[in-house]
């Protein structure tokens, strides 16, 4: 009964509500939808508590630059949020852009809370204003399709050497770890190929699809960890590969 009263005070009662049901009433959004917190204009909360939607981007290295730059954008509550992104990239959340009762009631506490507000990221909890410039700089580099993978890796390494990003870089375990994630070696994408086999192949300058195709079965079977089953996986990978056969790395960049 108490829950029903609280819901009624906050959100009113749905037109379709059965008055005899204690847990009925308006709900916010659909958790299965692309915009799970969106609410209809006729929702009672739209008049009592919310008048806009604010976008909160996911602060991850894999989040595209265009999405990160959208962080904090506010649109009318009844507007249609853009749908050019996957749900993991961010969410539109209902807000009230008008009078801030909490800020008026406890201005110092509110200001302190806002100053120390953090969001989750690959580097742990971070302050958005501090992390966004680093994140945008990183995404600008990795999304630059006009540069080669080698050039982009060099730029990432230079970015990670800048002293002002030291704490983030340490949390991300360095440029080498990040580059391995976004620019994986071709050999690392062969299903089931052991690490020791990849090291041995690289040491023999067999790092590309072209080199793998050129190597005969006997040559590949001579490497530690490569038997008939692994050889079949290598051949299947090469047959299905549709990228640059002379590249030793791939770009795994969400756009």
Do β-strands 90-95 and 74-76 pair in parallel, antiparallel, or remain unpaired? unpaired
Q: Are 156 and 198 contained in the same domain?
A: no
In a domain, 51, yes or no: yes
- Tell me the pTM: 0.79
Domain count, the chain: 3
In a domain, 57, yes or no: yes
In a domain, 106, yes or no: no
Q: Are 16 and 82 contained in the same domain?
A: yes
Q: Distance of alpha carbon 67 from its chain centroid, rounded?
A: 9
The arithmetic mean of pLDDT across residues 225-250, rounded, is 95
In a domain, 166, yes or no: yes
| Element containing residue 11 per DSSP (H, E) | helix 2-11
Residue 230 to residue 162: CA distance in whole angstroms: 42
Q: Are 82 and 139 contained in the same domain?
A: no
Q: Are 139 and 175 contained in the same domain?
A: yes
**Sheet holding 52-57: strands in order across?**
74-76, 52-57, 90-95
Out of 95-104, 114-123, 166-175, 188-197, pick the least confident: 95-104
Residue 74 to residue 93: CA distance in whole angstroms: 9
Cβ-count burial of 82 within 10 angstroms (0-12 exposed, 13-18 middle, 19+ buried)?
A: middle
Q: Are 8 and 48 contained in the same domain?
A: yes
Residues 6+ apart with CB under 8 A from 8: 25
Q: Are 173 and 133 contained in the same domain?
A: yes
Residue 170 to residue 148: CA distance in whole angstroms: 26
In a domain, 123, yes or no: no
In a domain, 225, yes or no: yes
Structural domain of 54: 2-98
Residues 6+ apart with CB under 8 A from 205: 211
pLDDT, residue 19, reads 35
Out of 50-64, 138-152, 199-213, pick the least confident: 50-64
pLDDT, residue 130, reads 94
Instruction: Give the torsion sign (CA, 215, 220, 222, 224).
Output: positive
Q: Are 192 and 213 contained in the same domain?
A: yes
């Amino acid at each position: 009964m108490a829950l029903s009263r609280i819901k009624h005070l906050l959100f009113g009662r749905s037109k379709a509500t059965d008055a005899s049901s204690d847990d009925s009433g308006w709900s916010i959004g659909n958790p299965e939808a692309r915009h799970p917190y969106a609410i209809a204009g006729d929702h009672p909360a739209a008049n009592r508590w919310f008048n806009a939607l604010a976008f909160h981007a996911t602060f991850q290295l894999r989040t595209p630059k265009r999405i990160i730059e959208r962080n904090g954008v506010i649109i009318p509550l009844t507007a249609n949020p853009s749908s050019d992104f996957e749900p993991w990239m961010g969410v539109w959340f209902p807000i009230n852009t008008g009078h801030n009762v909490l800020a008026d009631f406890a201005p110092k506490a509110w200001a302190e809370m806002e100053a120390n507000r953090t969001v989750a990221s690959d580097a742990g909890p971070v302050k958005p204003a501090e992390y966004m410039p680093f994140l945008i700089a990183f995404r600008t580099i990795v999304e630059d399709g006009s540069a080669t993978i080698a050039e982009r890796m060099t730029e990432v390494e230079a970015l990670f050497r800048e002293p002002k990003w030291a704490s983030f870089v340490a949390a991300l375990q360095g440029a080498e770890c990040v580059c391995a994630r976004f620019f994986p070696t071709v050999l690392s994408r062969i299903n089931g190929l052991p690490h020791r086999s990849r090291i041995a192949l690289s040491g023999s300058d067999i790092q590309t699809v072209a080199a793998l195709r050129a190597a005969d079965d006997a040559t590949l079977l001579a490497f530690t960890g490569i038997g008939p089953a692994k050889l079949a996986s290598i051949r299947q990978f090469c047959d299905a590969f549709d990228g640059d056969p002379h590249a030793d790395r791939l770009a795994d960049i969400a756009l």
